[in-house]
Amino acid sequence: MEEKRSQETIPAALPEPLTPAAETPDEPLLRVNHTRTGVRAKPTSATSELDLKTPSLYFNRELSTLQFHIRVLEQALDMSHPLVNRLMFLLIFSANLDEFFEIRVAGIQRHIALHPDEVGSDGLRPTELLDEISRVVHEQVERQYRILNETLIPELARQNIFFLRRESWTAPQREWVREYFDEEIMPVISPIGLDPSHPFPRLVNKSLNFIVELEGQDAFGREGGLAILPVPRPLPRLIRLPAHLSRPGCDEFVFLSSIVHAHAEELFPGMKIIGCYQFRLTRNADFSVDTEEISDLASALKGELLARRYGDGVRLEVVNDCPAHLTDFLLNQFNLAPRDLYLVDGPVNLSRLMTLLGDFERHDLLYKPFIPGLPKVLNNRNESLFSLIAQGDILLHHPFQSFTPIESLLAEAANDPGVLAIKQTLYRTGADSAIVSALVEAARNGKEVTVVIELRARFDEADNLLLAARLQEAGAIVIYGVMAYKTHAKMLHIVRREKGGLRYYAHLGTGNYHSRTAKLYTDYSLLTANERLCEDVHLVFQQLSGMGKPRVIETLLHAPFVLHDRLVKMIEREARHAEKGKKAHLIIKCNSLTEPQLIRALYRASQAGVRCDLIIRGMCCLRPGVAGVSENIQVRSIVGRFLEHTRVFTFHNDGKPEVWASSADFMERNMFQRVETCFPILDKKLAQQVRKDLETYLVDNCQAWVLTTDGRYVKQVPAEDVPAISAQETLLYAYAAKA
């Protein structure tokens, strides 16, 4: 039976909530966390002023992160998405959980070892948090496989797309699969029998493995027992059957795990297989380098990257028909608790199935492609980009508008005889990046090219090491930023000789210099020749490459120096306007809101009467709608076709509105542990464009989830007499090139 779309994903037991400013619906909805039972905000004075540090005013960040992942899973049931994209959302949920365990759960376990009784700002101890995470994830993983098996696979079958189980293979298919096993798998797979001379192998993080129970004697007279069968990672996890072996008009696939399972006996000749069960171990993939103990960051990272593959275990996934004595054996081998075991009804490594989209030609089951648009100033241009930027700032809203102008600007700069120097930050970029190619070409053409590459961009470390080597070989100056701070700012600075002297040009963005994600993530890009902004970008680069006291930077806000303080002051300024009876309104759109001082500033603004509209895609520790604290705050999350990634903030400022865009989220790490930039949109028309975009998100009633006082995310649904509004679809129509 297919699972019906429901607003409930976590029917978690909640503590008694604070008094909400308004009643919330009674029906079950998507829940977020939960402070410790009974913890409530307490008055601190006779005026009943609430202590804004009270744990019950904060949601737990890890449980809030899980809620975002669950909102992603919800998309698998959303009929407004094409069928194969719904499957992709389900697979993304798996990939998100992988990273959640590798980094966040691993961090909690490490925290337990050091500070087991420490209570977080939300009132939870780390052991309590792990128990709650385990409860939530077990429930959602079971639901995920139920959606896959009972909803998506049957719907795909109705579209002539089949994932064939072993028992359904035809005789010709069995023969083809046997040949595939003999030619592609058998030569690279190495079974390991367990005995004193063959200890349990060291398995790679997130690799597919089988535990095999054997009976009989082998060639050396050894009695059968247990064997481990690691499946090499380069092998594809999903194999398309040839067209002549598939039903007419059908796409038929088999899982690698099914092929290995079907032919396991060939790997143990003469032995009887009692059972063969797939499993997957997730390991701690986080690491840090001691900034005081290393002399070469690149060399230190190379060693850490190898260690990442074999960190401590944090999660064990096993197929659900595996006997208890074998799951207990595996838990013992990896030093894991029963709560770390996840029994699954299907392949244990769903995220690896994303290759399906790369091998898929059913465009009727995918999002309709679109051509990103361009601002009018860039349409049918014959002029140099430098000339166009010199005429006025240019703002791009990706992916609705093209990322190509940024790549084109660098390509033009690489070959422009007037360009003397280029400085660029790189955090995440593709291996075949046009940005990197242009920087290489510029260096080879004799430009002074300086690239600040962040080697510690999580899971991109290896790629960034290779890019650094490529740039150095071309003659670029490559630096790795500042040891104690990740360089997360998105900046490009170009020095060009023109009539009258040198002129600066800059690009500032909210997202990475990555052409692929620029087609999938929403971000803003600003191309500018504004003297104040460009001079500030120049000064930030000097701070990164040289040494010295902080410079006076007039227009940009940058972390870890002034960004946090200025954001707090801008929120407080809005509160002062409200206290004087003036209109006061702010909109904050970012990925995460966890930093306590910023949350308290928003609480105080709400108390003063400021209307606070927060568009927070992922984790949010702020509790909205609390009477006397946050009844003027609304929090919404947009989840849809594109990953919301823009960080942009607007302040009414007594009728003199300000619009800022940033590389930084409202998190401790962004404010205090990273190099970030926050830049004003100075052009009034462009600022109005950003405000209009944000207003579109605030009226979304199709892809928006609103966070309630008691920690539920309520899916917004248009009323019968209200038109359906999807912010992403509206912006796509407004900005993308018309067919």
Q: Is 645 annotated as a binding residue?
A: yes
* DSSP code string of 472-519: HHHT-EEE--BTTBEE---EEEEEEEETTEEEEEEEEESS-S-TTGGG
- C-alpha distances (whole Å) from 215 to each of 27, 298, 317, 319, 323 are 54, 49, 25, 21, 16
Q: Is 504 annotated as a binding residue?
A: no
Pick from 726, 669, 362, 361: nearest CA to 522: 726
Strand partners, 426: 453
Distance, CA of 600 to CA of 619 (rounded, Å): 16
Distance, CA of 530 to CA of 163 (rounded, Å): 56
The one catalytic residue in 261, 263, 488, 564 is: 488
* DSSP code string of 195-250: BTTBPPP-PPTT-EEEEEEEESB-TT-PBP-EEEEEPPTTS-SEEEPPGGGSPTT-
Pick from 635, 649, 431: nearest CA to 524: 649
Strand partners, 254: 164, 239
Pairing of strands 712-715, 30-31: antiparallel
- C-alpha distances (whole Å) from 504 to each of 62, 423, 535, 707 are 43, 11, 7, 44
| CB count in 10 Å sphere of residue 660 | 22
What the block records as the tokens of 697 is 């998100």
| CB count in 10 Å sphere of residue 478 | 22
Distance, CA of 456 to CA of 554 (rounded, Å): 29
Sheet holding 161-164, edge to edge: 161-164, 251-255, 238-240
Q: Is 652 annotated as a binding residue?
A: no
Angle between helix 61-74 and helix 83-99 axes, rounded to 10 deg: 160
Distance, CA of 132 to CA of 119 (rounded, Å): 15
Q: Is 521 annotated as a binding residue?
A: yes
- Compute the residue count for the chain: 739
Q: Is 733 annotated as a binding residue?
A: no
> Does the annotation mark 493 as catalytic?
no
Distance, CA of 638 to CA of 293 (rounded, Å): 43
Strand partners, 453: 426
Give 311's contacts (C-beta < 8 A, 6+ positions apart): 106, 205, 283, 284, 285, 286, 287
Distance, CA of 583 to CA of 651 (rounded, Å): 11
Distance, CA of 393 to CA of 510 (rounded, Å): 16
Pairing of strands 501-509, 491-498: antiparallel
* CA angle (646 as vertex; 734, 56 as ends), nearest 5: 125
Q: Is 497 annotated as a binding residue?
A: no
Helix, strand, coil abundance in the chain, percent, nearest 5: 40, 25, 40
Residue matched to tokens 């899980």: 66
Strand partners, 251: 161
Residue matched to tokens 């691993």: 106
Residue ranges for the known binding site are 96, 428, 458, 521, 617, 645
Which residues are annotated binding-site positions for Mg(2+)?
428, 458
Residues acting as catalytic residues? 488
Residues making up the binding site for ATP:
96, 521, 617, 645
